[in-house]
């Protein structure tokens, strides 16, 4: 990657870009974790719903 002329201004810009990239990666990781948790919770709710429906059908 071309990091510029090595001047303090270009170094500062690269540092800011690196920080922004790191923040984006952290956000992506956090979003992925939340998505995985929500999917797991959704699967549990689907199983509970199926179990309740099955129980209701057995009562009929």
57 in a structural domain: yes
Tokens of 30: 């956090």
Tokens of 52: 């309740």
Contacts with 11 (C-beta within 8 Å, 6 or more apart), sequence order: 3, 4
Contacts with 26 (C-beta within 8 Å, 6 or more apart), sequence order: none
Place of tokens 């071309």: 2
Predicted confidence band at 22 (pLDDT cuts at 50, 70, 90)?
Answer: very high
25 in a structural domain: yes
pLDDT digit string, tens, across residues 24-56 = 999 999 999 999 999 999 999 999 999 999 999
Contacts with 3 (C-beta within 8 Å, 6 or more apart), sequence order: 10, 11, 14
Domain span at residue 37 reads 8-60
The number of domains in the chain is 1
2 in a structural domain: no
Q: What is the pTM of this model?
A: 0.64
């Amino acid at each position: 990657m071309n990091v510029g002329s090595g001047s303090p201004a270009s170094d500062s810009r690269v540092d800011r870009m690196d920080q922004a990239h790191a923040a984006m990666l952290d956000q992506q990781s956090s979003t992925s974790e939340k998505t995985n948790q929500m999917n797991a919770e959704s699967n549990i709710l689907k199983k509970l719903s199926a179990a309740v429906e099955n129980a209701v059908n057995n009562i009929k």
